[in-house]
C-alpha cells in the first residue's frame, strides 16, 4: 500500500519524518511536490492507498481532481480556523460545554440576564480570541461587571461571560482521524506540548480529556480546548486549527506518527 503526500514543495521535512512510521506499517510514501513534480500527472491511486493533502481544502481538492482521486478519499490538512460555531454544535449534540453567554457594553440588561442564567456571581468575563490566550477578569457584582465589560470592550474582541473557576486546568488536544496524537497543557500564555518523548499524553493528563476531545472533533485533523474544573469535571471550550503538520510530526513520538498513518489507512479501506 502507498501513502501519497501531496504538498506545494515546502513540506519535505514532514514527509521525511513520517518515513519510519510508514515503513513500520509496510507502506511506501510517494512524495508529490505539485509545484515541481511533473510526474504527478501519472499517479494512479489504488484502492488500498491513502492520500494526504497538505494545504488548504480548496488546493487539496484541486490537486486530488488533477490526480483523478475522489476528493472525499483525501485527508485534507490545512491551517484555517473553524468557520462555524463549534460550541453551538457541541451543545446540540449533548456534549458538555463551558457555560457562557455573549455580552456587550451596549446591552447592559442582557448582561444582567446572563448573570441570572449563569447562577449569579462570581463569574468570569473573557475576550474571545481564536489564537493565543485571551484576557479573563473576575466579576463579583453588577458594578464590577459593567466596569469589566467597558474595559475589555476596548480590545475589540467579542466578550463572553461564564462560570468562574479559581484554578482551571486547560488542555489542548490534537486529533487526527479520530485518534489523539498530542495533548498540551496551557500555562499562562504558553502551551507545553508533549515534545520530549512523553508519549501521546503529557504527565498528569486524564484519559477523560482525550475521550471528550475525540467526541468533539469529527474532522480529519483538528485541535480542541478542554477545561478541567476544580471538581474534576470537564467542559469543551473551543475548536482550533491544528498546529501545522510539520510541527505535529516534529513533537509527537513514533508511536503517535504510526497511529496517525494507521488511522489514514483504516479510513481509506
CA pair distance 227, 45, nearest whole angstrom: 42
CA pair distance 21, 252, nearest whole angstrom: 12
- The answer to whether 266 and 257 are in contact (CB under 8 A) is no
Q: According to the model, what pLDDT value does residue 104 have? A: 85
CA pair distance 230, 191, nearest whole angstrom: 20
Q: Which one has a higher pLDDT value, 195 or 87?
A: 87
Q: According to the model, what pLDDT value does residue 144 have? A: 95
Query: For cell 488536544, what's the residue?
Result: 173
The fold of 169-243 is: D-amino Acid Aminotransferase; Chain A, domain 1 (3.30.470)
For residue 148, what is its C-alpha cell? 469589566
CA pair distance 257, 260, nearest whole angstrom: 5
CA pair distance 110, 25, nearest whole angstrom: 56
Collapsing DSSP to helix, strand or coil, 112 comes out as helix
Q: According to the model, what pLDDT value does residue 199 have? A: 40
Domain 98-163 has CATH 3.30.1490.20: yes
CA pair distance 101, 106, nearest whole angstrom: 15
Give pLDDT tens digits for 203-254.
556 788 888 998 998 766 678 889 888 888 999 988 876 666 666 776 677 7
Full-model pTM: 0.66
Query: Where in the chain are the domains?
Result: 2-77, 98-163, 169-243
Query: For cell 486529533, what's the residue?
Result: 175
Q: According to the model, what pLDDT value does residue 269 have? A: 58
Give pLDDT tens digits for 43-71.
677 778 888 877 655 555 566 666 666 65
Q: Is 170 exposed, middle or buried (0-12, 13-18, 19+ CB in 10 A)?
A: middle
Amino acid at each position: 500500500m502507498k501513502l501519497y503526500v501531496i504538498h506545494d514543495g515546502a513540506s519535505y521535512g514532514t514527509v521525511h519524518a513520517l518515513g519510519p512510521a510508514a515503513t513500520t506499517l509496510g507502506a511506501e510514501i510517494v512524495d508529490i511536490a505539485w509545484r515541481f513534480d511533473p510526474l504527478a500527472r501519472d499517479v494512479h491511486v489504488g484502492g488500498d492507498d491513502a492520500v494526504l493533502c497538505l494545504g488548504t481544502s480548496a488546493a487539496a481538492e484541486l490537486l486530488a481532481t488533477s490526480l483523478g482521486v475522489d476528493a472525499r478519499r483525501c485527508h485534507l490538512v490545512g491551517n484555517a480556523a473553524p468557520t462555524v460555531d463549534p460550541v453551538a454544535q457541541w451543545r446540540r449534540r449533548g456534549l458538555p460545554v463551558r457555560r457562557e453567554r455573549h455580552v456587550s457594553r451596549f446591552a447592559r440588561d442582557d448582561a444582567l440576564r446572563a448573570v441570572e442564567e449563569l447562577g449569579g456571581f462570581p463569574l468570569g468575563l473573557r475576550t474571545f480570541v481564536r489564537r493565543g490566550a485571551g484576557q479573563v477578569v473576575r466579576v463579583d457584582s453588577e458594578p464590577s461587571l459593567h466596569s469589566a465589560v467597558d474595559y475589555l470592550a476596548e480590545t475589540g474582541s467579542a466578550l463572553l461571560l461564564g462560570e468562574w473557576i479559581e484554578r482551571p486546568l486547560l488542555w489542548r488536544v490534537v486529533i487526527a482521524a479520530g485518534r489523539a496524537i498530542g495533548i498540551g497543557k496551557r500555562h499562562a500564555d504558553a502551551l507545553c506540548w508533549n515534545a520530549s518523548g512523553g508519549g501521546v499524553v503529557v504527565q498528569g493528563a486524564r484519559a477523560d480529556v482525550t475521550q471528550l476531545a475525540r467526541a468533539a472533533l469529527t474532522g480529519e485533523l483538528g485541535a480542541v480546548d478542554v477545561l478541567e474544573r476544580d471538581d474534576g469535571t470537564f467542559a469543551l471550550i473551543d475548536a482550533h486549527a491544528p498546529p501545522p503538520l510539520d510541527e505535529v510530526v516534529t513533537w509527537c513520538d513514533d508511536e503517535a506518527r504510526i497511529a496517525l498513518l494507521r488511522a489514514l489507512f483504516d479510513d481509506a479501506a
